[in-house]
Amino acid sequence: MDSPIATSRTRTGISTGLLAVYWLMASEIVIFGGLLVCYLLFRQRNPEWAEFAALTNVHLGALNTFVLLTSSLCVVLAHHAAENKQTDKAFKLLWVTIFGGLIFLCVKSYEYYSKFSHGIDITTNPFWGFYFIATGIHGLHVIAGMVCMAVVSFQAKAGQHLNRVELVGIYWHFVDIVWIFLFPLLYIAK
Amino acid sequence: MSGHSTQKYFKVYFALVILFLISYIVPEMMPDNKVMVLLSAFGIAIVKALMVCAYFMHLNTERKFVWYLLISCLTMMYLFYIALVPDIMRKEGHNWKSHIEVVMPENHHGHDDHHGDKHENTEHHEEKN
């Protein structure tokens, strides 16, 4: 039976889904890039923001970096398993990745709680505005990635749409890369 | 064969963890050396991002136009930065104010309304541009 969905592009030589994920990444680069460039410009103009950056918890930020790096390894292993038709292994590895995302969100929530309890919120000053917006948008991307991964994991377990494991993996790696830059920008540079 | 190819991912992962540890430990050990802190933090972040792109996202074996697509977006970011930075970093100029005066509305006597309490807290302060 003919599928109504175009699954390949002869012009580009890569699958439609993969092409869509790369376009999504390109648009995300503009979103996060614009935000981070604005932050850099403000930071250069206001060197005293280093005092606020010193109030961020570097250890928790480092823990989250480690968690995301490990979850990136899990999702690439899930992709490898899916390629070899090891559907159960792919399913398990995707759920380990989701668990990593959950740990990340728990640590982030604790950080937010800690800031709020010290009277710091998004309106305190522009530095904290950037902090909460950048980490908040990133957190929403983590949640979106977890939801997509949960859906894809059940499809993979049933042996359907195994190519989607790679697509959701690429998205997850991108989320990891954004955090790789947020960590030094918001936590280390003082 | 399968085990052999997953070894590659573990090697990349351990390299990423070592780089991450360096970027975490160097600022803790020498917080006063700003150059070292920034170089280790951002230099390593760029290397880590490239490694994730190349080996985990498999862009090293992907078609070249994908790199061009992503790099063109990064170039937009760079253009955005260099277009604004001369203006943002400027400290003086004709009719140039490096500080914005934020004047809160004053309490008008005789203007008896229900919002009187709010007007009592008038402030006059400066915010940096």
Q: Which amino acid, A1?
A: M
pTM exceeding the 0.90 threshold for the entire prediction: no
Q: Which of residues 81-100 of B touch A (CB under 8 A)?
A: 81, 84-85, 88-89
Q: What is the pLDDT of residue A10?
A: 65
CA distance B111 to chain A (A): 30
Handedness of CA A27, A190, B16, B54 (dihedral sign): positive
Q: Are the beta carbons of B76 and A69 separated by less than 8 Å? A: no
C-alpha radius of gyration, chain A, whole number:
19
Q: Check pLDDT > 90 for residue A68.
A: yes
CB-hemisphere CA count at 13 Å for B20? 27
B37-94 pLDDT tens trace: 888 888 999 999 999 999 999 888 888 888 888 899 989 999 999 998 888 777 776 7
Q: What is the pLDDT of residue B119?
A: 41
CB A36 within 8 A of CB A135: no
A102-125 pLDDT tens trace: 999 999 999 999 999 999 999 988
Count how many residues are written for chain B: 129
Alpha-carbon gap, residue A132 to A136, rounded angstroms: 5
Ordered structural domains, chain A, with CATH: 16-188 (1.20.120.80)
Pick A41's closest partner by Cβ from B9, B53, B85.
B85
Pick B128's closest partner by Cβ from A12, A46, A84.
A46
Q: Check pLDDT > 60 for residue A43.
A: yes
Q: What is the pLDDT of residue B114?
A: 45
Query: How far is CA B5 from each of CA A81, A93, B67, B119, rounded to the nearest angstrom?
Result: 11, 16, 24, 69
Q: State percent of chain B over pLDDT 70.
A: 68
CB A155 within 8 A of CB A165: no
CB A103 within 8 A of CB A67: yes
Q: What is the pLDDT of residue B120?
A: 41
| ipTM value for the complex | 0.89
Q: Is B127 helix (H, G, I), strand (E, B) or coil?
A: strand
Read off the pLDDT band of A150 (50, 70, 90). Answer: very high
Average pLDDT taken over every residue of chain A: 91
How far is CA A81 from its chain centroid? 22
